[in-house]
Chains A and B, each alone.
Chain A
Amino acid sequence: MSEQTPEQPRIGRDEWVASADERRAKSIVGQAQNALDRTPAALKLVALALPFAVFPLVVESEYLLQVGIDTLIYVLLALGLNVAVGWVGLLDLGFVAFFGLGAYLYAAAASEYAGRQWDATLAIPAIAVTVAAIGFLVGLPSRRLVGDYLAIVTLFFLQIWLVVLINASFTRGPNGISDIYPLEFFGRRVTSQQGYFYVALVAFIVVISVLYLMNRSRTGRAWRALREDELAAELMTMPVNRLKLMAFAVGAGVAGVAGVLFAPQQGAVFPANFDIVLLITIYAMVVLGGPGSLVGVTVGAVLINVSLEVLRDPDDASSLFYAVVFLAVVLLLRRPWWSSLAVLGGTVVFGLVVHEIAEQARPSLVQGTPFGEARIDEVVDSWVLLPADIVSPDGLPTGWLGRVAYIGLVAAILGLTLVRSRLWRSVALVPTLYLVACVWENLLLPQPAVARFVLIGAMLVALMAVRPQGLFGAQRVEAV
């Protein structure tokens, strides 16, 4: 760069922009970001894979290993979806069909039902390529579609796939195929959970490396360019349609690999394994971690799957729930510094007062016992309104209080959005938080299957409000 003298015109040479790096290096977040940028990719991969690699050495329970394998399969799915959604910006709602395809193709390649056993060294690449080719064919009619139209067509494809699975005789309909052989490498079967875990880990390392290298090439650059502006990309020599199909095929291939690992590990495949709920969960993982970031979607998949598992247990779920609420209040009310303390303290006092009044007026309102057995529930017992018999003998919530509190909570949140003054908003937050606790204890905790998805959804909403680009995503500017 040429030396600047004061006599030179200053138009277009702004020091503020030029010194962006220096300013960034001054903040802690900026330093962390710089350090992350400077870290070599290989080191990042080791940092990502190492916790997985030691996981089977430190845990012994079969259940935890199963969670680990599921997590790795989810990570693979999130990485595959990220190609079309994160890099190219195509809203692909048919993605889990490719996962199912991979699983069913393995069932066709190695099961008692099919009457053959392909070696995994043959089955994995063959199925990955086949699923990628089918992804290419599915993309073919929709390659000119963008946005909502593409979403509808791919969703339609997923529905066709499910209808075929459920109704066709060769897939055994809703009964699924349940006698799938385990993976076999050179004649040696993988039988232990540890074995499957390491196979999945190797698949993860291979897939993330391939995707990383692909993204850092002219193909990856062209993908990102066509996400930014399709027409400009086309006019700058990039064959947009072919690039889109390639993205579809690569993503489908990765999903196929995940399917090949899923089927033999489970030993059975059913149409219900590949439904819309799974699709939404994978989308949530990509969105949470930050679309376009390989590290991000990996972390997103781990976070969501682990949270969903933790939420299965009512005691862990309670601890997680109160921790999240506490963190949310602290993070949202940062100024002045004592406001979060005031709100939390106010909520505690408010609850104690309400509990005391209810005990005097109608003792039946507080006679119930908390559903969970965690330590926090002993505190909760003398704080939240808990009528007797919140759960019927068959495990369903019967209490009217939970439902009333739920409606009250929705109304309170709507009302909260109308309050402008910061002071009054903080004041209104106190009964709202108390209602949150009542709903949790009376309605959600007794039915964890529902509660965990509600909670994950609430966490996502909160994160999107604070960090719309996801945990590791880069902030995007749409039009300026």
Chain B
Amino acid sequence: MSPDRAPLLEVQGLSLAFGGLRCLDGLDITVGEGEIVSVIGPNGAGKTTLFNVITGVYPPEEGEVLFEGQSVLGLDPHQIARRGIARTFQTLRLFLNMTVKENVMTAAYGHTRAGVVRSVLRTPGMRREEREIERLAEERLAFFGDRLIGYRWRQPAYSLSYANRRRLEIARATAAMPRLLLLDEPAAGMNPVETHEMTELIGRLREEGGYTILVIEHDMHVVEGISDRVVALDHGVKIAEGSFAQVATDPRVVEAYLGTSETRRR
């Protein structure tokens, strides 16, 4: 099954093992421009490892990762991020002791140029750039309605609630000006109201931000609500791919989540 749009990200035959543990095994995934693709699978299926390989944290043993038709293997993570892949983290990794606004401003590093000398001389170009970053951060935070604006800007990130931290991670990732957004369990730890909000938000990210989105999610309501396509992983192998309805009823997916009747009896 191939997407009907031009591919933005192509993962081909990706394999990675830690010691004897095969985390990814010949994985192929293609994400078309403007698509929202969900990756599902039980714990330890290799979903986050896939994100880590795409963003350059781990080098794969085999396989290829093409972004906009060009290989990103061997690039440093910051170079890959600069090319247009930004992500959030399952285990929130905010800059806790920096303010909410600063958290978002940092991610604009790759798209700004003022060096040390220009910063010390406070050249007009550097000042303009600073103002632009600040405006960018305010705009990205305003995306979440009145959750992260006004008095929140000057507060340290550690003062935020769990749900707001997830939102801030998304705001920070979008400030890196990505074309592809990798969201690692964006609705984890949220209450039903917030989860519903997050579902709408991911749709809005595509409509308003124009991002292509690859998302790992465990909440099946969210997956159903957002996905153009769903990819199911187990033990680093793709076991099913297709629409939500197709994948959710696939016997191998059911088996991966619940076990076979034989293992259940045991």
Contacts and interface: CB of A to CB of B under 8 A. Distances in A.
Interface of A: 1-2, 9, 11-13, 17-18, 20-21, 210, 213-214, 216-222, 224-225, 228-229, 231-240, 246, 250, 474, 476-480
18 contacts: A18-B151, A217-B114, A217-B130, A218-B130, A221-B102, A222-B109, A224-B97, A224-B102, A229-B94, A231-B77, A232-B94, A234-B76, A235-B86, A236-B110, A236-B173, A476-B97, A477-B96, A477-B97
Contact of A238 (B86, B110, B155): B110
Query: How extensive is the interface on chain B, given as a class?
Result: 35 or more
Contacts of B81: 234-237
B11 interface: no
Contacts of A2: 145-146
Contacts of B110: 236-238
Contacts of A235: 55, 57, 77-78, 81, 86-87
Contacts of B191: 11
Interface string B179-216: 00000000000010110000000000000000000000
A183 to B, nearest CB: 24
Given A221-B106, A477-B158, 4 more contacts: A12-B164, A217-B114, A218-B130, A232-B95
B120 interface: yes
Contacts of A11: 191, 193-194
Given A229-B93, A235-B81, A477-B96, A218 B151 contact: no
A1 B95 contact: no
A216 B76 CA distance: 26
B105 interface: yes
Contact of A214 (B107, B119, B159): B119
B143 interface: no
B82 interface: yes
Contacts of A220: 119
A237 B77 CA distance: 8
A12 B164 CA distance: 8
B106 A233 contact: yes
Contacts of B105: 218, 221
B245 interface: no
A228 B96 contact: yes
Contacts of B122: 213
A213 B118 CA distance: 10
B19 to A, nearest CB: 21
B156 interface: yes
Contacts of B263: none
Given A218-B112, A218-B114, A232-B94, A213 B78 contact: no
Nearest to B122: A213
Interface string B115-149: 11001101000100110010000000000011101
A237 B133 CA distance: 14
Interface of B: 55, 57, 76-78, 81-82, 86-87, 89, 93-98, 102, 105-112, 114-116, 119-120, 122, 126, 129-130, 133, 145-147, 149-152, 155-156, 158-159, 161, 163-164, 172-173, 176, 191, 193-194
A237 B150 contact: no
Chain B interface main SS type: helix
A231 B93 contact: yes
A236 B194 contact: no
Contact of A20 (B57, B112, B147, B155): B155
A237 B120 contact: no
Nearest to A19: B151
A476 B93 CA distance: 16
Contacts of B161: 12
Contacts of A233: 95, 106
A110 B116 CA distance: 30
A249 to B, nearest CB: 10
B247 to A, nearest CB: 28
Contacts of B94: 228-229, 232
Contacts of B106: 221-222, 225, 233, 236, 238
A222 B109 CA distance: 7
A18 B151 CA distance: 6
Contact of A232 (B93, B102, B149): B93
Contact of B76 (A229, A239, A478): A239
Given A217-B130, A236-B106, A238-B109, A1 B149 contact: yes
A237 B158 contact: no
A310 B258 CA distance: 74
Contacts of B150: 1, 18
Nearest to B154: A21
Contacts of B147: 12-13
B170 to A, nearest CB: 12
A214 B116 contact: yes
Nearest to B106: A225
A478 to B, nearest CB: 8
Contact of A217 (B87, B89, B95, B126): B126
A213 B94 CA distance: 24
A346 B67 CA distance: 77
Contacts of B194: 11-12
Nearest to A229: B93
A218 B119 contact: yes
B130 A17 contact: no
Contacts of A21: 151
B150 to A, nearest CB: 5
A1 B146 contact: yes
Given A1-B146, A1-B149, A221-B106, A9 B193 contact: yes
Given A17-B155, A217-B119, A218-B114, A237 B126 contact: no
A237 B193 contact: no
Nearest to A236: B107
Contacts of A210: 120
Nearest to B107: A236
A1 B147 CA distance: 9
Contacts of A9: 193
B89 A214 contact: no
A17 B96 contact: no
Contacts of A236: 78, 81, 86, 106-107, 109-110, 172-173, 176
Contacts of B97: 224, 228, 474, 476-477
Nearest to A232: B93
Contacts of B156: 477
B76 to A, nearest CB: 7
